[in-house]
Structure formats: structure tokens, C-alpha cells
Structure 1
Amino acid sequence: MLAFWRILAASFRQYSTYRVATVAGVFTNSVFGLIRASILLAAVSTAGGELRGYDALQAATYVWLGQALLAPVEAFGTREVAERVHQGDVAIDLLRPLGFLRLQYAQKLGRSAFLLLARGIPPMLVGAALTGISLPTDPVAWLLGLLAILLAITVAFLADMLVNLAAFWILQTRGLTVVYTAVMNLLSGFLIPIAWFPDWLIALTRATPFPAMVQTPIDVLSARVSTAEALPEIGVQALWAGVLALAAWAMLQRGIRSLEVQGG
């Protein structure tokens, strides 16, 4: 456990050294947030000031919370593990004293913690100044919101890991990553609130882990759901985290056997 926390802290420190990239990321995140806010606010205005439960302030809050989560959940996916598999460096990772998935998770948490603080909160402050945002005042809601963020990062990590682990059998995973990223950004509720989907697509989306990555933490932090309603939503997040963790573990074990058969 001590090794896990040391790796987490080292990952946080590593990303904190990229100051120029952080500033550039904050600027880009803020600009795209303004673009998204203008589009959603126009949609709400066209609908008469309210669209499926979202008024102007709630729509703006949705946008800026989504922008805050963009970097921590890594909504555009990663390819580092897939590249290490293709290059053979994964063999070194498998020999480390800390399990492969725990190692990657510790690095993910450290990276996400920095990205949330350095690239997530500043755009929210920009949004609060320019469009206004609505956040809960109840401390319990904040605690549940932080838990929802942690589970969102965990679910996103595990789903992305499944895509990366496909590299054990697929020589080129770029296409798979592109498809996954497109589906994730749509069904997670990052592009538009899931409530704005057609009813049939809402039902389909709720049967996937994607809403747990973005929509659920936004709903909890924006107080769109009460504390009593937030608990089942967080429970669904935890359920998906467990299911995906088992799937990632099983896929890794199959991948290790495949690596050994091929001469690893």
C-alpha cells in the first residue's frame, strides 16, 4: 500500500512540472468551455428558457463542470499502455512488485488529482465569472460529489484500460481508440446532457458505464439530484467499477498468457 501512495505522489509531482502545458491547457479548456456554453445556452433560449429540466444557469453549470472533468477522466483516451505492449516494455511492468493494474491506477490517480486542481478548477472560475454556475451549499453534497468524481475517474480508467489491453491481440489499436473516444464522449454526457437524448437513446445509454464517467458527478455536484437520489447513482458507479475491474483483470491474465505463448 505504501508503494501505491508513493507512486501516486510521484505521478502528481511529475505532472506538476509541466507548467507551460498546464497554462495552455487551462486557456484551451476555458475557450472551448465558452464555445460549448454559448451553444447550450442558445439551445435553452430557443426552447423558451428551459430544456428538459435545464435552465440557463443549470446548462452553464453543466458545461463548466464537464470542462473541469475533461482532463481528469481523460475523455479523449490514452494509448501509453497499448504502446508499451507493442514495444514489449510491458514485460518490465509485469515484473514490478506492484501489480500492473494497481501500478497504472496509482499513476492515473496522481495524474488526475493534479489535472483536476490545475486544469479543472481554473476554467470553472472563468465560467463562474462569465456565465455563473450553481453549486451545492450542503457539505454532504460536496463529499458525495468528490466520491462521484473518484469513481468517475476509476470507471474511465478501467474502460480505457480495456481498450489498451486489446493491444495484446491487435497490432494497431488507434482505430479502436478513436471509436471508443467518440462513443464515450457522446454517451457519457460530456457533449450534451443525457436528458436531451431521445428516450430510446437514454435507455440505451443508462445500460452502459459511460454516464458514470461524466453525467453522474455533474448531477451530484450541480445539485440536480438530492442526497437521497445521489446515493443510488454513486452505487451504480461503484457497480460499474467492480465489473470493469474484473473484466480488466481477466483480460490482463489472458494477455499475459498470450505474451508467454509468443515467447515473452
Structure 2
Amino acid sequence: MSLGPKLGALWRLGVAEATAYRASLLVWVLTTALPLVSLVLWHALAADGPIADYDQRAFDSYFVAAFLVRQLTATWIVWDLDRQIRTGELNALLMRPVSPVLHHAMFNLAAMPLRAGLAAPVAALVLIATGGMSLADSASSWLLFVPALILAWLLAFSIQLCIACLAFWLTRASDLYDLWISAYIVLAGYLVPTSLFPSGFGEVARALPFHATLGFPVELLIGRLDTAEALTGIGIQLAWLALFMTLGAWLWRRGLRAYGAFGA
């Protein structure tokens, strides 16, 4: 059987699983609504005037976009693969004619339409309350936003894969992801736009993979980047993606050789 029908079958299984657990998915969507909390804070702080180049509408636009981009770049392979390695569930996936990594990628992507559908009403209510948002008005920004969003998801997936593969040697690798998330919340533009960071620190933050997975596509979506800045951002995404994909492939191969999970 060619790869196409296999991927189609995985997609259908992923959609069925996401639909069956839609209540849990809604809870997950709501637990990633921290940017909307930040919106309330920064909207209030900007009531007396703009903060740097962000007024109230700009903050509203940024954090609603951050909420939506977060939903569209979500992945959870780090928790699933970590559990499967520790419990021996990975054995069943290894016996299938499709790579377990591809299995997880398809399941994560298959849940995306439902996740976006659940997030859209939440974002719509916020926009009604705040009076709307400003989006990019140039065709180049919209054309570049699509690959930027795809690369952001691939980068997030690759990072989680690298961390999950450490479960081949560690008791619970997903705990390490908590450290990553802590840095992500600070450096990705999740709580505050990185352009508001102090000079020097902001430039460093914008070159890191955290910003490449969230802040960069958000700024592109709301029209705060020109074409040159957008292309630079995509270049940064590609560089980090090449690094983490290479590292992930190496860890996966080495990990399979050392695989000795309980029940294996």
C-alpha cells in the first residue's frame, strides 16, 4: 500500500479521536487562553496612551492573534510519546507500516480543524467586547503568513519530538518540557510582545526558537513586519527547524537502539 492511503487512514482516525474527545479538547483550548488574560491587562495599561508603538487596539489585535496562532501551532507528541516509551505502548506503533513519528504528526494535525473551530467563538467574543482587531493589509504579509504558520507548527513538533525522545533514557522526559514551556511563556511573546522587551534582550529573544513558533507569525498576521523582516523571520524559522529536525532524527534512531521500556 502506498503512503497516501495510509496517511488518509491516520487522518480519519485522528479526526474520530478528536471528535470523541471534543470536551477535553475544548478544555485544552481554554487552558491556552493566557494571551487573552494578557489582553485585558495591557488593554487597561494602554488606556491613558500608547505603550511604545502599541495602543489599545494594537494590543487587542496582538493577543487575539496570539491566542489563535497558539491553537493552530499546538502539538502534544511530547506527552503521548513519552508515555508510550515508558509503558511499552510504543511496541504496537513500531509494528505498523507507518513511522510512529508520522502517526503522531497526522493525529495532531487531524485535530487542528476542530481545535480551530472551538477557539474561533472564544476569539469572536473577545473581538466583540474589544471592538475588533487590525490585520495585515499587504498581500505579501498574507502570502508569507501561511508558510510562517506551517513552519511554526513543524518547529514546535520537532522541539517536542526531541524532548520526548529523551524518555528512551530518562524516567519522565515530559517534565523537561515544563522547563521549555516556562521559557516559552516569557520569550515567545506569549505575555508581552517581544518588541517591547528592553533593547538588546529583545533582539536576542527574537532570534530564539520560542519567538519563531509564536511571536513571529503573530506579528506577520497583524501587519507589524515589512517584507524584509518577514523573510528574515522565515529564515530564522528554517534554521531552527533544520537543527531540531536533525537532532530529533538522531535521538529517535539512537533511542530505538536503546529501547527497553517496561512491557517491551
Matched residues in 2 for 1:122 and 1:65: separation?
13
- Superposition pairs of residues 201-220 of structure 1, within 5 angstroms: 201-220=201-220
How many residues matched? 260
Following TM superposition, by how much is the alpha carbon of 1:169 offset from its aligned partner in structure 2, in angstroms? 0.8
Q: Which amino acid aligns with 1:257?
A: R
Are positions 1:123 and 2:122 aligned together?
Answer: yes
- Aligned-residue offset at 1:206: 3.1
Map residues 251-262 of structure 1 onto 2, 5 A cutoff.
251-259=251-259
Confirm or deny: 8 A CA contact 1:29 1:67 kept in the other structure.
yes
Pair 1:139–1:128, CA change in 2 (3 A):
farther
- Whole-angstrom distance in 2 between the partners of 1:23 and 1:171: 30
Deviation of the 1:29 alpha carbon: 6.2
Which blocks of at least 5 consecutive residues in structure 1 are unaligned?
none
- CA displacement, residues 167-212 of structure 1 (integer Å, 9 cap, x when unaligned): 1111123431221111122211112111122234323323421111
Give the 3 Å change call, closer, same or farther, for CA 79–66 of structure 1 in structure 2: same
Kindly indicate whether residue 90 of structure 2 is the aligned counterpart of residue 90 of structure 1.
Answer: yes
Contact 1:37 1:60 in 2 (8 A): yes
> Is 1:197 aligned with 2:200?
no
Letter of the 2:169 partner, please give it: W
**Shift, 1:24, TM fit:** 5.0
How far 1:102 sits from its partner (Å)?
2.1
Aligned partners of 1:123, 1:138: CA distance in 2, in Å?
Answer: 26
Distance 1:236 1:25, change over 3 A: same
Instruction: Give the Cα separation in 2 of the matches to 1:207 and 1:195.
Output: 12
> When the two structures are superposed, what TM-score results if normalisation uses the length of structure 2?
0.85
Ranges in structure 2 where 5+ consecutive residues have no aligned partner:
none
Whether the 8 Å contact between 1:68 and 1:124 is mirrored in structure 2 is yes
Are the counterparts in 2 of residues 26 and 122 from structure 1 also a CA contact under 8 Å?
no
Q: Secondary structure at the match of 1:51?
A: coil
Q: What root-mean-square deviation, in Å, do the aligned CA atoms of Structure 1 and Structure 2 show?
A: 2.8
User: Per-residue deviation at 1:19?
Assistant: 4.0
**How big is the shift at 1:213?**
0.8
Check whether the contact 2:35–2:191 (CA below 8 A) recurs between aligned residues. Answer: no
Other-structure match for 2:9:
6
